[in-house]
Amino acid sequence: MKSKLTYSEAFTKLEELVEQLEDGTIPLDKLAATVKQANEWVAVCEDKLRMIQAEVVADADKVSKKSKGKS
Amino acid sequence: MTDSIKLSTLTQLIQDSIQSRFDGEIFTVSARIMNVKKYISARRCYLTMEEYEYGAKITEIRAVFWSNAYSEIEKFEKVLKQPFKDGAEITCKVKVRYHKVYGLNLDVLQIDVAQALGTLELERQQTLERLVKEHPEQIQLIGNVYHTYNNRLELPLVISRIALITAPNSDGQRDFLQELKGNKHEYQFSVTEFLTTIQGDNAHELILEQLRLIEKRQEDFDVVAIVRGGGSISDFRPFDDYTLSAYVAGFPVPVFTGIGHDRNQSIVDLMAREQKTPTKVAALIVEHNFDFENVLIDLKTRMSEAVTGQLERATERLEQAKRIIRLSSPRDILRRGFAIITHEDKIVVDPSLIKEGMEIQTQLMNETIHSTVTKKKKNEKQTDL
């Protein structure tokens, strides 16, 4: 199942899931699917840290012509 | 008309009068300096000293720092972290001097830097008190820490979209971007630059202008960073400005400042999240994301341990069930020396059904014994096997 959650939603769900796993409330027959889902959420969070298209955008039209500061 | 005298005679009279009244006397005066002209290589500075009342100028006189007093200007700039320029208020020691060609002047001998520092600090305190008084919901002084709406805003778990207010082609801009790009964790960031003048008389207005632009797109940014490099004499007054400080205090996106200074914090620093330098702001953002990654790693470890534990417990329960089943099988029972009694091919569970003379079969591990019951009696006590 492809997750369309934001990373913060994925992170919250991941935290809840780990608690459920630690409490042993996930049935054994659902363990594999649960772990698969959890790993997808982990990937969403990790992507947030490293997969952003890196860019530096100067707001050229906003640059004041008066700007001469060199600090 | 009386007889005329030479102008030089008159100016000589003036000079003599002034000299006899002021010769050698030193005065301490407070004034606003204007028309400051510094000749750095000659180590000389010409200016006017002025006094105002209700906004109107009530007096003005020319003044000079000769080369033997020029170091006073350098001391002023170094200690106060602001340039010696028009508009500054100073208290200084002066001598009155009249020259027949150059006219009346004050020779400045010394600036009272401590007094100037005190005035600056007093103004700063007044601004802070006004901020707390006029924005009680957004700015509170608790202990000696200013809690503002902005510096209490929760940071997102990951900071990746940064609005950068800085001067174009500046050290601050370069240091900040370099620290972000070179981070050892290879985190990626999206930086949108809002370039403007960061110092000078109207810098606070220009910074405010950029903040307003950012506010219109506030959903696009995780944080705002206001940075500039340190180094030479810097003017910190824009960052003590009341309007800018109030705006930062109530700004809806968390603001980091890295404006490079070592004196007390500026007021904007106090209203935001302050780091001393652009590099430190960038490092803090990287560190913030690293903290998140550590939490993620911890969750993964806990998940793995929980799953492994659950599987191990399930396996253990399965093994136990298998053991019980195995121990309960007739074959295993026979192997351990027990026997099964049958009569007419039916297992005898109730011994009271067996009567003397009946034919029974005793099934052991490898053989079956056929026998006739000749005698039967109850056990005196419960068999204790």
Provide mean pLDDT across the span B12-25: 93
Question: Buried b vs exposed e over B1-20: b needs ≥16 C-beta within 10 Å?
Answer: eeeeeeeeeeeeeebeeeee
Query: Rounded CA gap, B211 and B149, in Å?
Result: 16
Confidence category of residue B114, pLDDT binned at 50, 70, 90: confident
Are B275 and B237 members of one domain? yes
Encode pLDDT of B340-364 as tens digits. Answer: 899 988 888 888 888 889 999 998 8
pLDDT at A56: 62
Q: Which of B290, B312, B345 is the last residue of a domain?
A: B290
Decide if B197 contacts A64 (C-beta within 8 A): yes
Q: How far is A2 from chain B (nearest CA, A)?
A: 19
Pairing, β B56-65 against β B346-347: unpaired
In a domain, B246, yes or no: yes
B231 pLDDT above the threshold of 50: no
Q: Pick B198's closest partner by Cβ from A11, A57, A71.
A: A71
Please, what is the average pLDDT of chain B? 90
pLDDT in tens, chain A (71 residues): 444 789 999 999 999 999 998 888 888 888 889 989 999 999 999 988 987 655 566 654 444 444 444 44
**How many distinct helices (H) and strands (E) make up chain A?**
2, 1
Q: Is B195 within 8 Å of A64 when comparing Cβ atoms?
A: yes
Query: Rounded CA gap, B231 and B233, in Å?
Result: 7
Are B283 and B242 members of one domain? yes
**How many distinct helices (H) and strands (E) make up chain B?**
9, 16
- Structure tokens belonging to residue A52: 């952003």
Q: Is B229 within 8 Å of A71 when comparing Cβ atoms?
A: yes
Are B89 and B152 members of one domain? no
In a domain, B378, yes or no: no
Decide if B282 contacts B174 (C-beta within 8 A): no
**Is residue A52 classed exposed, middle or buried when 0-12, 13-18 and 19+ CB atoms within 10 A define those classes?**
middle
Are B138 and B206 members of one domain? yes
Are B156 and B273 members of one domain? yes
Q: Is A71 within 8 Å of B168 when comparing Cβ atoms?
A: no
Range of weakest confidence among B11-20, B66-75, B118-127, B145-154: B118-127
In a domain, B295, yes or no: no
Q: Which of B236, B263, B290 is the last residue of a domain?
A: B290
Q: Which residues are paired to B165 by β-bridges?
A: B194, B226
Query: How far lies B158's CA from each of B184, B185, B284, B371, in Å?
Result: 16, 13, 12, 85
For A20, the domain range is 2-70
B294 pLDDT above the threshold of 80: yes
Query: Rounded CA gap, B69 and B63, in Å?
Result: 12
In a domain, B186, yes or no: yes
Which residues of chain A are within 8 Å of residue B213 when distances are taken between CB atoms?
59, 62
Q: Is B196 within 8 Å of A11 when comparing Cβ atoms?
A: no
**What's the half-sphere exposure (Cβ side, CA atoms, 13 Å) at B60?**
7
CATH of the domain at A37: 1.10.287
pLDDT at A63: 41
In a domain, B53, yes or no: yes
Q: Is A7 within 8 Å of B157 when comparing Cβ atoms?
A: yes
- Structure tokens belonging to residue B221: 């940014």
Q: Is A49 within 8 Å of B292 when comparing Cβ atoms?
A: yes
Structurally, how many domains does chain A consist of?
Answer: 1
pLDDT at B261: 63
Pick the more confident residue, B357 or B237.
B357
**Is residue B29 classed exposed, middle or buried when 0-12, 13-18 and 19+ CB atoms within 10 A define those classes?**
middle
Confidence category of residue B99, pLDDT binned at 50, 70, 90: very high
In a domain, B249, yes or no: yes
Are B168 and B250 members of one domain? yes
Pick the more confident residue, B245 or B266.
B245
Are B106 and B125 members of one domain? no
Structurally, how many domains does chain B consist of?
Answer: 3
Residue type, B232: S
Confidence category of residue B230, pLDDT binned at 50, 70, 90: low
Decide if B263 contacts B81 (C-beta within 8 A): yes
Run of H or E residues at B312: helix B278-328
Provide mean pLDDT across the span B134-155: 95
Are B139 and B97 members of one domain? no
Are B90 and B130 members of one domain? no
Pick the more confident residue, B148 or B326.
B148
B233 pLDDT above the threshold of 80: no
CATH of the domain at B215: 3.40.50.280
CATH of the domain at B85: 2.40.50.140
Scanning A29-58 for CB atoms below 8 A from B yields 31, 35, 38, 42, 45-46, 48-58
Q: Is A48 within 8 Å of B172 when comparing Cβ atoms?
A: no
In a domain, B297, yes or no: no
B385 pLDDT above the threshold of 60: no
What count of other Cβ atoms lies within 10 Å of the Cβ of residue B156?
18
B276 pLDDT above the threshold of 70: yes
B234 pLDDT above the threshold of 70: no
Encode pLDDT of B308-318 as tens digits. Answer: 998 898 899 99
For B97, the domain range is 7-111
Which residues of chain A are within 8 Å of residue B157 when distances are taken between CB atoms?
7-8, 11
Residue B317's SS3 state is helix
Q: Pick B193's closest partner by Cβ from A7, A57, A66.
A: A57
Are B183 and B141 members of one domain? yes
Are B129 and B68 members of one domain? no
Are B201 and B218 members of one domain? yes
| DSSP assigned state of A31 | H
Report the complex ipTM. 0.76
Smallest CA–CA distance from B314 into chain A, residue: A28
Query: Rounded CA gap, B278 and B191, in Å?
Result: 14
**What's the half-sphere exposure (Cβ side, CA atoms, 13 Å) at B65?**
25
